Structure 1
Amino acid sequence: MTRVLVVEDDPQLVRALVLNLRARRYGVDSAADGATALSLAAARQPDAVILDLGLPDMDGTDVIRGLRGWSRVPILVLSARRASDEKVAALDAGADDYITKPFSMDELLARLRAAVRRTDAAPLAPDIVRVTTDEFTIDLAAKKASRGGRDIRLTPTEWHLLEILVTNPGRLITQKHLLQEVWGESRSDKTNYLRVYMAQLRRKLETDPAHPRHLITEPGMGYRFEG
């Protein structure tokens, strides 16, 4: 049974989430504050966490950081905060997805299923040595990319950017994180760098670069690799 930890201080919303999750045969634990959430997560080892950011004792981003100190459990943020910087902060802290309130229960459940599937299917990033899509193949050990049986020449910068994305399949990687990892702290605001290099990667790897299937843009937030 897939176990979900719901971290939310609104009793009515907790009740709705618990009822819907249990109806679909999820095991559910709930916590109304961050401290209880961290304690329950350690004790119950959930398969996914649904987390509100506005908790009574601490900010939800602190809960994310606390979990990420020892766990790769999928974290879906469910929040009324709509500002781009709030979303980016949660994703940078380690959240896997961000859903704004009010929300569709069907969409939340679909995203939860997808997050759990990705965790079940994907090994830890250091163990990923080969990524194959229906359009291209990435051999991380040999540092080679191929498409249609032909090697694709990538620059070191293109390779570094691609490597970060493909070793985190399905996860939104923020612009800030990519810029810091590839270009360093001093270039963390140069989002035009990312647009240029992502366009180059799509031209080299995607069948239809204008409508990419694998190197996906999340406007204003970052990029995601879908296998």
Structure 2
Amino acid sequence: MSPVRSLRRVESREEILELTGSDPFVRCEIRTPLEAPAWASGAAVAVLRHSNIRRLGVAVLGPAEDVEALSAGLADSGDLHRLGVGGVTVVRESFEALRRHLPLADKGGDWEWLCTTTQPAPIPQEDRLIPLSENDLPDIRALLAVANARTDARPFEYPHQVWVGVRDGSGRLVACGVREPNLVGVPVLAGITVDESVRGTGLGLAVTARLTRDAVREAGTCTLGLYSDNDVARRLYHGLGYGNGHAFRSRPLLG
């Protein structure tokens, strides 16, 4: 059977959940109804997804042997280019199988998606947290630019953002973070940032704990992403109860 014929169309999020064993990423990140039919081969699935910064990509889940057939079929079909897909996000263990068939840029992001349904215990430094508004936008942007230039946070560009932060004795913003609904409506954290001068004092933990607790209390779950080279953040998030995740590789799809 040719690779294209091995592809089958998946018409609903419920079918994707069945294929993936009710994967938390699918539950939290894939909208219903689907933007377009997904593709499947064996236990592998590829589904269109807009990222939190609204870029259209395709997310690929499944074991390497099935991703091999799936990506070969996608390459032959030309569907991704026809739909204007700009990038591919694939579980890391299946990256090489996919790259053998789809033209990907050499550089991109290695990151991890995590979620929790547990409200973390209060953190002592939380009493220093203050709400931030659009009046604080210049200070938020300045802190992100210096201390977290890779962040995907877009201060006050999207609705229903809740920013919190910490100012030092001089009034300088030294920590911040945001929770906002993703395109499915599930809370996601971003922009967790601490100035270098006060790192290691528990402010990042306090920001994350407060935002996570409020998100879980209101919506039952909270998600976030981190770059895979950030071991400090990973330990912090795991300590607050985050897990059930995936290690991903995201790469631009070449023409």
What is the TM-score when the length of structure 1 is the normalising length? 0.29
Q: Which has the higher helix share?
A: 1
